[in-house]
Amino acid sequence: MNTLLTLTFAAAAALPMSAQEAVAPPAEAAVPADSAPKRFVTQHNGTFFGKEVAYQAIVGETILKAEDGTPRASIYSTAYLIEGVEDPTTRPVVFLWNGGPGSASLWLHMGVFGPKRVDIPSDARDDGAPPYPLVDNPGAFLDVADVVFIDPVGTGFSRTLGDTEGKEFYGVKQDAESIAAFIRQWVGEHGRWNSPKYIGGESYGTTRSAAVVRELESGYDDVALNGILLISTILDFSIENHSPGNEMPNLMHLPTMAATAKYHGKAGDGKSLEAFVQEAREYALNEYAHALLQGESLPAEERSAVVKRLAHFTGLRETYIEQTDLRLHPARFQKELLRDRGLTVGRLDSRYTGVDMDEAGEHSDQDPSFYGIDGAYASALNAYLREQLEVDLETHYNVIGGLGGPWDWKVPGMPFNYFNVAPFIGTAMRQNSDLEVFVASGYYDFATPFFAAEYSLNRAGIVPERVHFAYYEAGHMMYIHHPSLAKLQQDVHDFLSQD
């Protein structure tokens, strides 16, 4: 389960197949307990949502220590704090991260919510080679809130220290405990205990968000939250467990297949994207679910009708659908949809197309929506940190990859064979009457399908009146599509500005 799930859920990019065998970032030498953490502070000005803002950028190190004061880990973050605020209780602060697990926060940082962003093609073309444009980002929310981008241990510049082993941080609960500890320490150091506070992440970062809210709000020394931002959500992992007999993945991915087929001109002719997707939702919840749950008892006449309807939604040949036993694996779909054109479609963003070594296989060689963007983000982030934010570190910035060992998916009190952190959010909402949740989903995202986000947040004790869904005509990283970037930025700005 460890390797399967870690390779399945990338924060903003699919992890390489060798991710879990990669060498861990080396632990730094033990540092004296009274050693000053490294900080790089610069002053800036920018215009955000039409408001001129003077802000301070802090690339800072936070040392997590054991009870005896021994340094255990160094967590780096990049904070943007507005200057001149007399009353911090009027100024929200937002803590953001990506996922993987094994990804640094550069995707949300350089793609959508930082004061600068890397500008790559909006129309699902490859990002090519450097130089990549680094532009002002007037849609960042710095006019209404401060933001702190966190790189968990093993990502970015963050490392274990001394004799500390990575396994002390590389797990659902261990990781969440370290991020919660960071947040408590940060709000104490910056005098922000009584400020409105939000957390959020992308992909596994949404899983981390659910685990972190549990760590922050489940004790008697709560760090109460005002809101959670879930971008490309994965909370209930049953929807990606393609074991024979589990029908959930087949149901949850069908609306994404319909959206993708329409985008590439294979289905949905004459219908709007929203209308066609809604038709697929309703079919998945009703006739398709009814058919799959009958298993081998499904009557021949009903089976034939299902084949035709799946062909209607997916654009695939009826013969092929019959051969799959009515169960369309996303990876197979990504290879099969445009086989007649010699193309595959992306997993993270199915608007992207790629060319494999040959056209006969069952699965794509690589995800074109990953290799179409990764170079730009890594290059832009490193140049920005070292040139504009004046970071002077010899340490390599670990963008995404292995952590040197398997991720520990065990969580106390959770059944080993059903991993679902959505109830953590439900508990927090029921115990915090002001906690609101924003959910952003791309129609063309196979890594974390939007229908699955709806499913997982429509049960588990979630308070539906305080969950806000938004949809975008792009994929996992919807912000690489310029119209979706503008919409996401406005939606989040509105969410943070609500009373």
DSSP string, 440-490: EEETT-SSS-HHHHHHHTSSTT--GGGEEEEEESS-TTGGGSHHHHHHHHH
| Distance (Å, whole) CA 327 – CA 348 | 21
Using the CB atoms, write b or e for 60-92: b if 16+ within 10 Å: bbbbbeeeeeebbbbbbbbbbbbeeeeebeebb
| Distance (Å, whole) CA 389 – CA 186 | 20
CATH code given to domain 2-238+373-497: 3.40.50.1820
How do strand 197-203 and strand 227-233 relate by DSSP bridges? parallel
How do strand 344-345 and strand 227-233 relate by DSSP bridges? unpaired
| Coil/strand/helix, residue 36 | coil
pLDDT at 25: 46
Using the CB atoms, write b or e for 306-339: b if 16+ within 10 Å: bbebbbbbbbbeeebbeebebbbbbbbbbbbbbb
| Distance (Å, whole) CA 351 – CA 338 | 12
Amino acid 221 reads D
- The residues, ordered by sequence, that sit 6+ positions from 88 with a Cβ below 8 Å of its Cβ are 191, 192, 194, 195
- The residues, ordered by sequence, that sit 6+ positions from 244 with a Cβ below 8 Å of its Cβ are none
Burial of 286 (0-12, 13-18, 19+ CB in 10 A): exposed
- Which parts of the chain register pLDDT below 70? 1-35, 401-404, 499
Could you give phi then psi for residue 412, rounded to 5 degrees? -55, 130
**Domain coordinates in residue numbering, the chain:** 2-238+373-497, 245-371
Using the CB atoms, write b or e for 346-377: b if 16+ within 10 Å: bbbbbbbbbebeeeeeeebebbbbbbbbbbbb
- Tokens describing residue 18: 């060798």
pLDDT at 151: 97
Is-contact 162 66, C-beta < 8 A? no
pLDDT at 413: 86
- Rounded to 5, what percent of the chain is helix, strand, coil? 40, 20, 40
Amino acid 38 reads K
User: Model confidence over 423-441: pLDDT tens digits?
Assistant: 999 999 999 999 999 999 9
| Distance (Å, whole) CA 90 – CA 269 | 50
In DSSP terms, which residues pair with 418 in a beta bridge?
A: none
- CA-only gyration radius of the chain, Å: 22
Is-contact 87 191, C-beta < 8 A? no
Using alpha carbons only, give the angle 468, 469, 475 rounded to the nearest 5 degrees: 150
Phi-psi region of 337 (alpha: psi -120 to 50; beta: other; left: phi over 0): alpha
| Distance (Å, whole) CA 135 – CA 143 | 18
